[in-house]
């Protein structure tokens, strides 16, 4: 009686077909140590960038006018702001660390908001200058440009009411009628009158002679803003 031999072939492992050789299986493991090292390196580079940027920043904190300051006004801490600017050595400024030297002093000249402050702006009564005078004129609605700012250059016209006379510097027109008085001035401030009449009170600085003529003239004031 013959003996039958039965051979059993095992099935290939899952994921591998028959005939493929079983090679080594490589598994990549994420190292938490390396991740932390990479994150630390990125943070270190960012910090170094910030430090370098601060070292190369040549801007210095200086004082500026926080808003318009009138000549003769005593400066308070709220009138002054601090900004960082890069200026030439020839430009006079006041460092932010010297704020106490400005507060309590009197402005010698009118200062527009944002003006860099310098020591000579508080060096004494230098405004108005020699040969200049300051006057306030009432201006009716519609007779001055909208948004007229301090520091603007204007032509001042005093037009006699009901008189179509020509525009001259002084004198009277034909028949003894007064003529329009004309002068050039710089705006110091623009304020609405407290009497609710709609009149705007404009303070001007101009030559002493022109100030006398404008103040003595009778009529309606008209302001024409000049360019430049």
DSSP 105-153: PBPSS-B-TTPBP-GGGGSS---S-TTEEEEEEEE-TTSS-TTPPTT-E
**Phi, psi at 65, each rounded to 5°:** -75, 120
**136 three-class SS:** strand
Rounded to the nearest angstrom, the gap between the alpha carbon of residue 83 and the centroid of all alpha carbons in its chain is 10
Scan for tokens 């960038």, then name that residue.
Answer: 49
User: pTM above the 0.85 mark?
Assistant: no
pLDDT per position as a tens digit, 46-87: 877 777 666 656 778 999 999 999 888 889 999 999 998 887
pLDDT at position 137 is 95
User: Which domains does the chain carry?
Assistant: 60-122 (3.90.1210.10), 132-225 (no CATH)
What b/e readout covers 108-117, taking b as 16+ CB neighbours within 10 angstroms?
A: bbbbeeebbb
Q: Is the peptide bond before 71 cis (omega within 30 degrees of 0)?
A: no
* Separation CA 25–CA 228 (nearest Å): 82
Q: Are 222 and 157 in contact (CB under 8 A)?
A: yes
Per-residue pLDDT at 166 exceeds 50: no
Total residue length of the chain: 228
Most confident of 24-28, 67-71, 141-145: 141-145
- Secondary structure letter of residue 143 according to DSSP: S
* Separation CA 80–CA 97 (nearest Å): 12
Per-residue pLDDT at 26 exceeds 90: no
Per-residue pLDDT at 11 exceeds 60: no
């Amino acid at each position: 009686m013959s003996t039958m031999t039965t051979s059993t072939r095992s099935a290939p492992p899952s994921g591998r077909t028959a005939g493929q050789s079983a090679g080594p299986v490589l598994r990549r493991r994420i190292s938490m140590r390396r991740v932390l090292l990479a994150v630390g390196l990125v943070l270190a580079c960012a910090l170094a960038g910030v430090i370098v940027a601060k070292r190369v920043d040549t801007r210095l904190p200086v004082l500026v006018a926080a808003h318009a300051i009138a000549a003769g006004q005593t400066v308070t801490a709220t009138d002054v702001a601090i900004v960082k600017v890069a200026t030439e050595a020839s430009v006079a400024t006041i460092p932010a660390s010297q704020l106490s030297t400005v507060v309590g002093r009197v402005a010698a000249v009118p200062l527009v908001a944002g003006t860099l402050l310098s020591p000579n702006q508080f060096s004494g009564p230098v405004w108005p200058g020699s040969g200049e005078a300051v006057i306030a004129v009432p201006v009716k609605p519609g007779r001055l440009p909208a948004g007229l700012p301090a520091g603007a250059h204007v032509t001042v016209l005093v037009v006699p009411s009901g008189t179509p006379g020509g525009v001259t510097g002084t004198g009277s027109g034909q028949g003894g009628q007064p003529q329009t008085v004309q002068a050039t001035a710089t705006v110091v401030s623009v304020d609405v009158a407290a009497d609710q009449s709609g009149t705007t009170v404009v303070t001007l600085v101009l030559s002493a002679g022109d100030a006398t003529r404008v103040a003595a003239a009778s009529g309606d004031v008209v302001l024409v803003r000049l360019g430049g």
